[in-house]
């Protein structure tokens, strides 16, 4: 393994306490020579593995750097370099023993868990989403590149769309007001002589290459033809008496074309985009260049919008209402799932906890099956079983119950169904742990209670249950926490539906926060809203943090670390 020391001296180093006040291992310096003698081949293998490992790491890093450097991607470059140097330093130094064991997992943790959590918090403050995907620079480039327009008094041409039969590329045969003829291709404009145009009418061949589009072809490729533009150089622009802004000769109709100028310019000082033809100023407002009259330039760009997403969640009526429902249902779902599985599991455990019953081992194995099956599979299976028109449950009992899609009473029936399925998934597990916990409670305790005159219920309520809860309490909290984010059951069973009406966001009656956030990001009806989704995720983070804090305070887990 790569963490082995290079030589005998490494061993003596390793045997030293690695720092910190709690070092409990005594130094074994006197043994160093003996150790070195006996290490020989072993540490050579260690060295070999270490060098191979570091070789691969550094090789990959070099490749990464050679990819990133030309792209001027400084941030990822920095990450790669720092991570690689850290690995090299840790494994080549003799003073970093604990880190040799910790650093691989730590790097994975930082990159794929800590960073995403922080990034989520950041995205929650942005407008990242459909329409605002690009960075500001990219958006400006797009806007400026796409924005040409034909000013009044521009030079106009008679134009014939041409096609090259060899590869289907388009071109234009252009005649300017003076009667000069040009061939315009996607590469630029070239003057042509009489001789370059052979034939008459439909049989014209231009520059031995192009022929006019037939009517049918023109219809077929209408969009392409109308979008076609011939870039023109500054010299050409001067020829046509156009300003230096002249950008291209763009097709106006099938038979005309005109010189178009770039109308939009980025004002480097103010950061605004200015329309030089119309004289309108577009200022960046929340990721979109917007004029005073409200006109906008697309695409927008992603930018920090502060608490806008949170404000939307809390104040926008169309979002607040559904969000609040999802919020409440998330707690109800987690709590009820925990309670129903616990109660059924306990009841079963008590019923079957009788030594006279035969086949308890078999029963236990059978009851755990729902828990042992992959949950994505069982959720999909139940979705079929509860299908309104085809589902075996309805067909067997001759029913027509919309188990998963009823809108009535705020989706009460789908909510019931989802709890039922979750009960089915979890009761076997609760049965097992309750059986274990029950049998760990000494029977003399309940018997003593009965001798003292307690009824069966009183003995259960005051003796058995408290003892039981001590044992299974932490597992109940874990169950609640798990169901709080139980995405699979909700998403695969109902997809979060049936939808809550009157909201622009995809919220459903059975959605819990995590599935709601997922659908905002990846299934949005009005596009993907990463910003809002990340804000919802951040809200879940906060809730989880509060639970964890309470949980930590109530358990002794912090004191147990030694």
Residues 36-75 that bind another protein (CB under 8 A): 36-39, 42-43, 46, 64, 67-68, 71, 73
Closer CB to another protein, 240 or 541, in the complex:
541
Between CA 165 and CA 372 the distance in angstroms is: 64
Minimum CB separation of residue 141 from another protein in Å reads: 16
CA distances from residue 25 to 191, 211, 336 in whole angstroms, order as listed:
89, 89, 51
- Figure out which of the listed residues 380, 401, 454, 467 binds another protein, where binding follows CB under 8 A: 380
Minimum CB separation of residue 269 from another protein in Å reads: 31
Considering only residues 126 to 155 of the shown chain, the ones binding another protein according to CB under 8 A are 128
Handedness of CA 226, 227, 232, 234 (dihedral sign): positive
Between CA 74 and CA 57 the distance in angstroms is: 20
Closer CB to another protein, 3 or 160, in the complex:
3
Angle at 89 between CA 96 and CA 47, to 5 degrees: 80
- Figure out which of the listed residues 62, 328, 357, 470 binds another protein, where binding follows CB under 8 A: 357
- Figure out which of the listed residues 19, 55, 59, 456 binds another protein, where binding follows CB under 8 A: 19
Minimum CB separation of residue 354 from another protein in Å reads: 6
Between CA 325 and CA 345 the distance in angstroms is: 29
Considering only residues 332 to 351 of the shown chain, the ones binding another protein according to CB under 8 A are 348, 351
Task: Answer yes or no whether residue 20 interacts with another protein by CB under 8 A.
Answer: yes
Minimum CB separation of residue 408 from another protein in Å reads: 22
Q: How far does the chain reach from its first CA to its final CA, in angstroms?
A: 27
Minimum CB separation of residue 310 from another protein in Å reads: 15
Between CA 525 and CA 250 the distance in angstroms is: 36
Task: Answer yes or no whether residue 517 interacts with another protein by CB under 8 A.
Answer: yes
Closer CB to another protein, 24 or 202, in the complex:
24
The count of residues in the chain is 562
Considering only residues 518 to 547 of the shown chain, the ones binding another protein according to CB under 8 A are 518, 521-522, 530, 533-534, 537, 540-541, 544-545
- Figure out which of the listed residues 101, 190, 219, 412 binds another protein, where binding follows CB under 8 A: 101
Considering only residues 543 to 562 of the shown chain, the ones binding another protein according to CB under 8 A are 544-545, 548, 555-558, 560-561
Between CA 229 and CA 150 the distance in angstroms is: 12
- Figure out which of the listed residues 392, 466, 502, 527 binds another protein, where binding follows CB under 8 A: 392
Task: Answer yes or no whether residue 108 interacts with another protein by CB under 8 A.
Answer: yes
Q: Which residue has the tokens 């570091």?
A: 54
CA distances from residue 98 to 3, 94, 226 in whole angstroms, order as listed:
10, 10, 67
Considering only residues 465 to 504 of the shown chain, the ones binding another protein according to CB under 8 A are 474-475, 478-479, 481-482, 485, 487-488, 491-492
User: 252, exposed or middle or buried, with CB in 10 Å at 0-12, 13-18, 19+?
Assistant: middle
Closer CB to another protein, 42 or 214, in the complex:
42
Q: Which of 38, 37, 88 is nearest to 61 (CA)?
A: 88
Task: Answer yes or no whether residue 436 interacts with another protein by CB under 8 A.
Answer: yes
Q: How many residues bind another protein (CB under 8 A)?
A: 138
Considering only residues 216 to 245 of the shown chain, the ones binding another protein according to CB under 8 A are none
Q: Are strands 296-297 and 288-290 parallel, antiparallel or unpaired?
A: antiparallel
Closer CB to another protein, 130 or 555, in the complex:
555
> Is-contact 270 160, C-beta < 8 A?
no
CA distances from residue 233 to 27, 242, 245, 258, 374 in whole angstroms, order as listed:
79, 11, 10, 15, 65
Minimum CB separation of residue 396 from another protein in Å reads: 7
Look at residue 171 and give its three-state secondary structure.
strand
What does the per-residue mask of binding to another protein show for 271-310, with x meaning CB under 8 A? ----------------------------------------
496's tokens: 């979060």
Q: Where are the alpha helices (DSSP H) in 147-258?
A: 215-220, 222-227, 234-239
Minimum CB separation of residue 343 from another protein in Å reads: 13
Minimum CB separation of residue 262 from another protein in Å reads: 28
Closer CB to another protein, 2 or 503, in the complex:
2
Angle at 206 between CA 202 and CA 207, to 5 degrees: 160
Minimum CB separation of residue 543 from another protein in Å reads: 10
Closer CB to another protein, 104 or 321, in the complex:
104
The piece of 148-156, 189-197, 355-363, 452-460 that touches another protein (CB under 8 A) is: 355-363
CA distances from residue 226 to 155, 161, 183, 299 in whole angstroms, order as listed:
18, 10, 17, 21
- Figure out which of the listed residues 372, 465, 469, 550 binds another protein, where binding follows CB under 8 A: 372
């Amino acid at each position: 393994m790569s963490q082995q020391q290079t030589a005998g001296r490494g061993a003596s180093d390793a045997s030293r306490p690695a720092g910190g006040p709690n070092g409990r291992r005594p130094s074994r310096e006197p043994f160093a020579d003996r150790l070195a003698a006996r290490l020989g081949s072993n540490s050579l293998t260690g060295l070999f593995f270490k060098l191979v490992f570091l070789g691969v790491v550094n090789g990959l890093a070099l490749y990464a750097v050679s990819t990133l450097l030309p792209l001027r991607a400084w941030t990822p470059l920095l990450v790669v370099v720092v991570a690689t140097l850290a690995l090299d330093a840790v494994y080549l130094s003799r003073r970093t023993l604990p880190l040799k064991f910790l650093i691989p997992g730590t790097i994975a943790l930082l990159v794929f868990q800590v960073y995403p959590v922080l990034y989520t918090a950041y995205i929650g403050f942005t407008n990242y989403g459909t329409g605002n995907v690009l960075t500001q620079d990219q958006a400006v480039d797009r806007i400026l590149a796409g924005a040409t327009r034909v000013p009044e008094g521009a030079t106009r041409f008679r134009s014939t769309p041409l096609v090259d039969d060899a590869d289907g590329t388009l071109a234009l045969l252009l005649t300017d007001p003076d009667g000069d003829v040009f061939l315009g291709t996607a590469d630029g404009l070239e003057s042509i002589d009489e001789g370059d145009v052979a034939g008459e009418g439909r049989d014209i061949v231009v520059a031995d290459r192009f022929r006019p589009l037939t009517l049918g072809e023109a219809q077929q490729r209408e969009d392409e033809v109308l979008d076609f533009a011939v870039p023109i150089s500054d010299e050409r622009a001067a020829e046509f008496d156009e300003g230096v802004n002249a950008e291209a000769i763009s097709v106006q109709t099938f038979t005309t074309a005109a010189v178009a100028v770039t109308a939009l310019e980025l004002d480097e000082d103010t950061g605004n985009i200015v329309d030089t033809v119309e004289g309108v100023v577009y200022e960046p407002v929340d990721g979109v260049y917007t004029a005073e009259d409200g006109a906008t330039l697309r695409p927008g760009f992603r930018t920090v919008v502060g608490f806008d997403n949170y404000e939307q969640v809390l104040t926008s009526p169309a979002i607040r209402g559904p969000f609040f429902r999802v919020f409440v249902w998330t707690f109800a779902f987690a709590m009820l799932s925990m309670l129903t599985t616990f109660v059924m599991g306990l009841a079963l455990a008590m019923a079957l906890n009788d030594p006279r019953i035969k086949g308890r081992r078999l029963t236990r194995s059978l009851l755990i099956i729902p828990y042992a099956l992959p949950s994505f599979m069982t959720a999909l299976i139940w979705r079929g079983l509860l299908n309104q028109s085809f589902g075996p449950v309805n067909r067997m009992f001759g029913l027509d119950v919309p188990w998963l899609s009823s809108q009535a009473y705020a989706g009460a029936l789908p909510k019931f169904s989802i709890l039922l399925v979750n009960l089915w998934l979890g009761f076997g597990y609760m049965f097992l742990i309750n059986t274990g916990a029950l049998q760990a409670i000494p029977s003399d305790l309940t018997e003593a209670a009965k001798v003292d005159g307690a009824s069966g219920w009183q003995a259960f309520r005051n003796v058995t249950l408290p003892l039981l809860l001590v044992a299974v309490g932490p597992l109940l909290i874990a169950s609640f926490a798990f169901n709080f984010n139980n995405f699979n059951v909700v998403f695969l069973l109902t997809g979060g539906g049936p939808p809550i009406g009157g909201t622009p966001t995809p919220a459903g009656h059975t959605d819990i926060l995590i599935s709601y956030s997922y659908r905002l990001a990846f299934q949005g009806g009005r596009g993907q809203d990463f910003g809002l989704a990340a804000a919802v995720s951040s809200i879940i983070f906060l809730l989880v943090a509060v639970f964890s804090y309470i949980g930590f305070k109530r358990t002794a887990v912090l004191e147990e670390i030694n």
